[in-house]
Structure 1
Amino acid sequence: MKFFKFIFIALVIVSCSSTQSVTGLYGKCEKEYFACTQLELKTDKTFEYFIFMDVGGASVINGNWKQITPDSIVLNTFKQPKHPITTYTGKINSETTENIKITIKEAGFPLAAATVVINNNQGEGKVANTDGVVEFEAQKIHTITYHFLHKSETIAIDNPNFNEIEITIKDLDSSAVPTYLTDEVMILKNKRLFINESHSLKKTNMKNKQWK
């Protein structure tokens, strides 16, 4: 019994020590900075993400974080998109045999000017009109890819015989400062938090925090 009690206490200590090694402030702003990013991971498993840009000023987004491996965490903001994933509906219209009609929308509005590609034929993309509609010659559809601003996504179509397809894409977060993070994975290595492959934040003293 004492042995199992010891094991339980040891696991709690290891768990606490792992959390303590992750929590804290990441990112240090230079003096008279024009841009700065800081991320505070709190002991209650919430975070505050500070982003400052010379144009637009400071923003702080909040949410929960969770350690998923010894060297990685996942972040989710409290605010989440209404449409987190892209969906589609399709049908076979027997009265239309010469063309395939694809309608693409975002948040219920036509995604005009989006470039649409079918079956990964990148050289044959077409631009959606003001109604979010694009048409192609009749053929079997396996995938549809859209490109809009800096976003792109490929959707697999389960019935290649559909000739009318309506796509509702997931909510776009096109602002310079993210509105929300959904299952955003960040890597921990050598007291650095890697937001992506090219950008990391070094762990720093809490006195360097730039917001209240």
Structure 2
Amino acid sequence: MVGPTLLRLRRTFTHALFAGDAQAAERAVSEAMDSGLTAAEIDIELITPALIMIGDKWATGEISVADEHLASEIALRVLALQRERRRGERLRRGRRVLLLAPQGERHVIGLNMASDLLLEAGYDTRLLGADVPLADIGLAAARNHADVVAFTATMPDSAERLDAAIDYLRAVRPETEVVLGGSAVSFELAATWNAAVCPDVSSVVATVDALVHHAPLN
């Protein structure tokens, strides 16, 4: 039985196809995925009925060939979006990210936001918070089997401690990837440790994805 959420999304998606609005179509499919609908449910109950209606309108001359082609291209685009998102979710599953601010760093609002975004994206996150003693960082990464450690540094004097923190980490768990964020992070420091720089909180998932997807599986 088709539920009210799926019916609403079907109407939204169908309207987006007729309007030639690819972004609205993508939002509808994304919402469907967020609602827990399977790929089969989205394909069969949401996308297919909309395409059938497009085909019927084209056959009766109510829309043009160009309109039909645009709708088809949008459908192909959302199918690719769906595949890529599910692929990303599979790759994130079981991957653990440790988030912390090294000793002396107490500004962790951005770190908490980053943890929420990574958790929502499907990563297993462990938030250690502020002022983590340098000598404990490597041990914490090893004990938690961290694939990625995300550091934040915002205070002017944090750079030296951040350098020492990564040194402790790499001494104990050299295979762990490193992400750096915060106003005190320099690209020179990141290059020294072959770490990724996250320019802002909103890009943390993409930054971690790039590390995890290209790193050899443990």
User: Aligning the two structures, in what range does the TM-score lie when normalised by the shorter sequence?
Assistant: under 0.3
Length-normalised TM-score, structure 1 = 0.27
Higher relative contact order (CA 8 A, sep 6+): 1
TM-score normalised over the length of structure 2: 0.27
Structure with the higher fraction of residues in strand conformation: 1
